[in-house]
Amino acid sequence: MFTSLSGNVEDYHKITFGDNSEGKVEGLGKIEISSEYSISNVLLVDFLNFNLLSVCQLCDLGFQCLFKPNEVIVSKIDDGEEVFKGFRHNNLYVVNFKKANLQACLFSKNSMGWLWHRRLAHVGMSTLKKVMKKDLVRGLKDITFEKDKLCSACQAGKQVANTHASKTFMSTSWLLELLHMDLFGPTTYTSICGNNYGFVIVDDFSRYTWVYFLEDKTEVAHVFSKFAKRAQNEFNTSIIKIRSDNGREFDNTNIEEYCDEFGIKHEFSTTYTPQQNGVVGRKNRTLITLARSMLDEYGTSEKFWAEAINTACYASNRLYPRLLDKTPYELLNGRKPNISYFRVFGCKCYIYKKRQHLGNPKHTAFNNATGMVEETYGVEFDESNGSQEAHVDVVDIDEEPLVEAMKNMPIGDIKPKEDEDEVQTIDQPSSSMAPQDGSEQDKILPNEDVHVPQEEIDEQAQDVGTLVQAPQVAPQRRIQLTSGHPKELIIGSPTRGVTTRSRNTAAFVQAYSFVSSIEPTTIDQTLSDPDWVNAMHEELNNFTRNEVWTLEAKPKGAKVIGTKNKQDDEGNIVRNKARLVAKGYSQVEGIDFGETFATVARLEAIRFLLAYASHHDMKLYQMDVKSEFLNGYINELVYVEQPPGFEDPNHPDYVYRLSKALYGLKQAPRAWYERLRDFLLEKGFTIGRVDTTLFTKKMDNELFICQVYVDDIIFGSTNEEYCIEFGKMMAKEFEMSMIGELTFFLGF
């Protein structure tokens, strides 16, 4: 988009976004908005997700903007000549600048540097410059790495900045002294080999990384035991310590028994303190952001996420230098890695048909025509730029539903079979890089380029063959292809493949869907989404089951409190959950409510309970009351409006008289506490004299304890049968959303 770009940005340092995050100003340039007009002093800002055009700046430059319901027209103030126009999309006005002069577009002087940036899994330019300067790898000569523009794929894949600072010292002295482990998943899309999790292992000394792809998290213990045996045999050293979080996949009997048998110390990070396991946390972030960028490059299907992660791992092991100015690969193997055979992930390739008895295959590629993984010997790559032009313009996103765009894989033209030496085209394979370092499955990446020297083939075989099982080709299952159509039903030439629409737009949106979740902000947006409408119906049905309110005519002079819909505050939406709340801020004390104070357990009391239970060997359980506030009765006469969009068609002017507390009412917490307190006292429990959230009951020399923190309840007994009876008693009276052994409670 830029026709010129300068790095002289002394007057501009950084830009502050709406969420108080900041982006560095990378350059200052000029863009063409038509063949005759251009805009100068345009800032190139890092981490800016979308191109923004200021109306005020346009007016200062002598333009005027006419906003219409469906379009905006920008013209010159002096003579009214139209310069360009935009259209309205999702309540924003979007401008699509035509590429009038492609010859004048910004051309990078270090085009080979950008090509190698794409080949090497979109690793940062600063890292590549350091690798080149210190001669840390083989096969990379006379390449200039300068960030004179932005990589669109990196912008789409690396939006979240890494918040953890790297260590500036070495905490270990030899290989395998300390291993960091973590698990990510489940992923939204199952990989082509049926996996949903990634198991990452990082050596603290070398930072060499292994990635294993798993169908289920329960496989972690088995995979780790196999890895540990092979790694210790290969490097003739012992694993001293491993470090992980407290997830059940790591904190379990199988792993602990293995560690005890071989004298491995297992360290756990503190709960909800991922910084203590920051090495593998940063590595996860690196692998995921690099994978996003590679998938975005050519709009590759999300089914190839495992191959992208694997490629990112393979590249980072050969590029990111440690404090000793050596790559992880060199620290592990004692020699510099050769990266001359790297190719851009996801690019189109042309392969010769398979032949027999020609030695070891040189590449493993995914064939869109057959939906199979194939081993081949000769490959030519088309590494033309995929994302740099595809994402320059802002376009109207109205081609097909997002889910379908992300779910379906583009399938290129399929050529008919002819001569044995015919070159076959593979459109958009995942065949551009190298063998994988750690996974036992999802092995569809090529081993090396056609011209890789024998020594490099040998060292790659050492990489994979010793620490990991022999490569397993992905299952040869087809991806929903049809064949055998009657010729009379085929329009056009039957030998020509189907031409599909461009997937660039879908891929662009797909990349941003990785890091954002969209929730409706107005009632109109909510009612236009069937999923949210169903969630709101579920909430209203919950009111009916609990007999929360009664619809009746509004009494004369009665004050009515409004309602609004509130979405839950989870960072990741598992399901659409709506909550109707009262506008409690409009309540008046003495009229709409009286007492509001609700007793809440002190954290010291909870700690004391945990210590007491541990001392007496009591098993503790926890339960959560669903819609707890809807169980509390209120004494005041309170009326609320009908929810917007869900008014009774026969009585649109009626209001609801509340019988029970509603979320948002000031007296709701107290009403719930009184309801629960009265119920427990009725069942023979004794309330604490000092701590009124503690309830106890003695039965046949057995003690039962119950601690209440709003809707979260901890309970335990010296006789486990009483816990079972208590759970049944509570479930009979209240609707429970969870009952089980105590695992997590307010950060404990």
* Cα-based distances in Å from 249 to 181, 406, 439: 11, 30, 18
Question: Can you give the pLDDT at residue 467?
Answer: 37
d(CA 617, CA 164) in angstroms, rounded, equals: 40
d(CA 371, CA 429) in angstroms, rounded, equals: 10
Q: In percent, how much of the chain has pLDDT > 90? A: 12
What type of residue is 80? G
Q: Is residue 212 part of a domain?
A: yes
Q: Give yes or no for residue 363 having a pLDDT over 60.
A: yes
Of 576 and 346, the one with more pLDDT: 346
Q: Is residue 305 part of a domain?
A: yes
The total of other beta-carbon atoms located within 10 Å of residue 589's CB is: 10
Indicate the residue among 333, 364, 397 that finishes a domain.
333
Q: How confident is the model at residue 129 (pLDDT cuts 50, 70, 90)?
A: confident
Question: Can you give the pLDDT at residue 187?
Answer: 87
Task: Compute the average pLDDT of residues 138-154.
Answer: 75
Indicate the residue among 292, 307, 333 that finishes a domain.
333
Question: Can you give the pLDDT at residue 526?
Answer: 63
Residue whose C-alpha is closest to residue 572's, from 31, 243, 309, 186: 186
Question: Can you give the pLDDT at residue 147?
Answer: 75
Structure tokens, 731: 């479930």
Q: How confident is the model at residue 403 (pLDDT cuts 50, 70, 90)?
A: very low
What type of residue is 462? Q
d(CA 410, CA 299) in angstroms, rounded, equals: 9
**Range of 299-303, 445-449, 521-525, 692-696 with top mean pLDDT:** 692-696
Residue at token pair 């075989």: 461
Structure tokens, 526: 């909510």
pLDDT tens track for 254-289: 999 999 999 999 998 876 566 667 888 888 888 988
Structure tokens, 510: 């797909």
Q: Is residue 659 part of a domain?
A: no
**Do 87 and 15 belong together in one domain?**
yes
d(CA 67, CA 82) in angstroms, rounded, equals: 13
**Do 189 and 312 belong together in one domain?**
yes
Of 536 and 724, the one with more pLDDT: 724
Q: Is 634 helix (H, G, I), strand (E, B) or coil?
A: coil
**Do 85 and 174 belong together in one domain?**
no
Q: Give yes or no for residue 425 having a pLDDT over 70.
A: no
List own/partner pairs for 453-461 with CB under 8 A and 24 or more apart. Answer: 453/338, 456/338, 456/341, 457/360, 459/333, 459/335, 459/337, 459/338, 460/434, 460/435
**Do 182 and 290 belong together in one domain?**
yes
**Do 210 and 327 belong together in one domain?**
yes
- Across 486-618, the runs of DSSP E, i.e. the strands, are 549-552, 560-561, 563-567, 578-582
Of 10 and 44, the one with more pLDDT: 44
Q: How confident is the model at residue 200 (pLDDT cuts 50, 70, 90)?
A: very high
Q: Is residue 245 part of a domain?
A: yes
Q: Is residue 441 part of a domain?
A: no
Of 418 and 706, the one with more pLDDT: 706
**Do 193 and 82 belong together in one domain?**
no
Question: Can you give the pLDDT at residue 110?
Answer: 53
Q: Is residue 216 part of a domain?
A: yes
**Do 173 and 296 belong together in one domain?**
yes
Q: Are 656 and 640 in contact, with CB atoms under 8 Å apart?
A: yes
Domain count along the chain: 2
Q: Is residue 492 part of a domain?
A: no
- Tell me, what CATH number does 226's domain have? 3.30.420.10
Task: Compute the average pLDDT of residues 128-148.
Answer: 78
**Do 95 and 186 belong together in one domain?**
no
Question: Can you give the pLDDT at residue 198?
Answer: 93
Q: How confident is the model at residue 193 (pLDDT cuts 50, 70, 90)?
A: confident
Structural domain of 75: 2-104
**Do 99 and 168 belong together in one domain?**
no
Which residues have a Cβ under 8 Å from the Cβ of 202 and sit 6 or more positions away?
A: 179, 180, 181, 208, 209, 279, 280, 283
Of 246 and 17, the one with more pLDDT: 246
Of 86-90, 394-398, 529-533, which range is least confident? 394-398
Q: Give yes or no for residue 531 having a pLDDT over 80.
A: no
Question: Can you give the pLDDT at residue 558?
Answer: 62
Estimate to the nearest angstrom the gap between the alpha carbon of 724 and the chain centroid: 39
Q: How confident is the model at residue 203 (pLDDT cuts 50, 70, 90)?
A: very high
Task: Compute the average pLDDT of residues 587-616.
Answer: 69
**Do 185 and 327 belong together in one domain?**
yes
**Do 85 and 230 belong together in one domain?**
no
**Do 81 and 172 belong together in one domain?**
no
Question: Can you give the pLDDT at residue 264?
Answer: 94
Q: Give yes or no for residue 610 having a pLDDT over 50.
A: yes
Indicate the residue among 333, 349, 380 that finishes a domain.
333
Q: Is residue 34 part of a domain?
A: yes
Of 527 and 76, the one with more pLDDT: 76
| Complete DSSP assignment for 401-455 | -HHHHHHSPP----PPP--TTPEEEE-S-S-SS---SS-SS-B-S-SS-TT--HH
Q: How confident is the model at residue 597 (pLDDT cuts 50, 70, 90)?
A: low
Task: Compute the average pLDDT of residues 188-201.
Answer: 90
